[in-house]
Amino acid sequence: MAAASVTAAPTPVHIEKRGVILDKLKDAFAKALTSLQCGACVSALVVAKDVSYLNRNWVLDAANSLCSSFKIMDQDVCKGLVYTQGPVLIESAMRAKLLSGDGKMICFQILGACPAPAITSGTLTFPKPKPTNITVKAASGNRVDVLHISDWHVDDQYVVGSNAACNKPLCCRKYADSPLVPGRAASSWGDYNCDAPVKLGQDMLKFVPTVANPSFSILTGDIPPHNVWAETREMVMAEETAAYSVMAAGISNVYPAVGNHEAAPANLMPTPNTGGDYKWLYSHLADEWARWLPADAVNSVRNYGAYTASPAPGFRIISLNTNFCYTMNFHLYGALKDYDPFGELKWFISQLQAAEDAGERVWVIGHVSPSQTDCIQNWSALYYQVVQRYSPHVIAEQFFGHSHYDEFAISYAPGAKNAQNAILTSWIAPSVTPYTDLNPGFRLYKVDTGNWNVYDSNTYVADLSKAATWDATGATPDWHLEYSAREAYGAHVPIAADQPLSPAWWHNVTSAFESNDAAFQKYWTYRGKSANRMAACTTNTSCPKEMICDMRAGKSTDTCSQPSFGLQKREDGTEYEDGPVALDVTGLRSAFGPAKKPWNRKLCGLPSI
């Protein structure tokens, strides 16, 4: 009989070596996080890469230990995130040329620890030059309604009466350490600390037909809830199937886009140059979306999630997988010189050129907007070149989500940022989920079927502060029109009834915000969907100026809200406590305490929105 194989116990020398190395790793990580110095951040990456050649698990163990000792998250959340997200970041660091610029790029895009590197993605070549005398199709006078839903994040594990003020990134669930008596009991309709319960999403879809009969709908990504430290492939597939089934029962003709939460683990979508296979996700989405999309579009989705489809003659929608520019897609850092993963932008250009040749109008939809700091700058710069080439005569509008806020951004032709040069609007939709501190909402656009431009944008919300009253009285959510963009901002920038809400008009609206604080404060209220739970954005801070700058930033290099991150050491010097963070890059609710710039709090990262 063959002897059973026996694994030798680690020698004392090996154990001692591991302990010393883990201490050095934790020191390097701590210095990077607490100092936010570029050199310290790059050094931490280099140390982690060197140790990974010995044992990758040591790097993960050090990160997990640091996460717990910093009290960044509960131990189970730390462990779940570190051991699902960490291996991809380690693999990318090992592929990257950390001392030749890649390290600084990673430290800038994730932590904001380094200055923004120069754009190196170059200049695109197009099949044909832009026509010199461009004309935009005339309006037909026929207006239709289009529904825009984003960031669904309905939680099928939502438990009524559970703790809505918990110690996890996502509350209103039963956890092993949940208290017997909740600090605040979750209502049946939702809570500002939680994702949406199933019946809130269903009720919203039931309300839509009472105010409109949408010609079609766009869904700009993010279906699963925010328990990203515990999500599995099987879980997200089941959640996506359930959500699409609910939507199919309530609305028709849906054109979806891929969100960062559709992945498992969240955010991590590999490319051909990074290794890894996500055919399971794209095949699953193709099967689910087949109820709405034509066969050729379904086949296209199976490649990497992008497709094009035509809801009406002379008009097409191009759905992009913008997760290939998402800063929290750690796969991307292993191939930073791959400026166009999967050749998606090349394909995008070919579709736009075909549309130009055919005289078609185009809508672009995606999840992460190229205008947001969450989009890697090299990719965003290339995308912006495409926008400048094919706008405004081909691309009529573009629609995104991801931020959970009600926002917009403007793209410009080369030259000054003024009304004359404004060529395209990015409509960034409010989320269905109230996560966090937002009312649930959706948009209805009034669209002309000749030029396919937006003539009004109506945002509907439900006031979640009344959730306990709804439960007590047996009422349902008070879905109502929060505002009409034409009416709200037309009061400050008048617009003729036969004119669309054009990029030039939106630029003039931002000018009104500069000169009229009351107009800006109106926007600020609507940005948070009238929940009135966001930090103030007052003229005695840099907030209004930064927000207006961001509205005029069609690409991430132009934003004034750059990534930033920080921790603060306790006075006793023994461990680290919650400290200031300018942009909540991790997406954790108050993970690092009050923000230096609380108006910039992000709701999507790790645990990721």
Binding residues for Zn(2+): 151, 153, 222, 260, 367, 402, 404
Using CB atoms within 10 Å of the CB of residue 453, give its burial: 0 to 12 exposed, 13 to 18 middle, 19+ buried. buried
> How many residues are present in the chain?
609
CB 25 within 8 A of CB 77: no
Decide: helix, strand or coil at residue 318.
Answer: strand
- The CA distance from 466 to 316, in Å, is 41
Task: List Cα–Cα distances, 178 to 181, 459, 591, in angstroms.
Answer: 8, 36, 19
- The CA distance from 131 to 136, in Å, is 12
Furthest-apart CA atoms within the chain: distance in Å:
91
**104-107: Cβ within 8 A, 24+ apart:** 104/38, 104/42, 105/333, 105/336, 106/45, 106/333, 107/32, 107/38, 107/41, 107/42, 107/45
Decide: helix, strand or coil at residue 217.
Answer: strand
- The CA distance from 345 to 370, in Å, is 12
H helix and E strand count, the chain:
16, 16
DSSP state of 136: P
- The CA distance from 197 to 249, in Å, is 17
- The CA distance from 598 to 67, in Å, is 23
Residue 528 is encoded by which pair of tokens? 């948070």
- The CA distance from 200 to 198, in Å, is 6
Helix (H) or strand (E) holding 373: none
- The CA distance from 444 to 529, in Å, is 14
Residue with tokens 């939507």: 247
CB 375 within 8 A of CB 563: no
- The CA distance from 395 to 356, in Å, is 9
Task: List Cα–Cα distances, 543 to 317, 401, 521, 583, in angstroms.
Answer: 35, 22, 11, 13
Helix (H) or strand (E) holding 212: none
DSSP state of 108: I
Decide: helix, strand or coil at residue 154.
Answer: strand
- The CA distance from 389 to 127, in Å, is 11
Across-strand partners of 315? 312, 361
Binding site listing? 151, 153, 222, 260, 367, 402, 404
Q: What is the CA radius of gyration of the chain?
A: 24
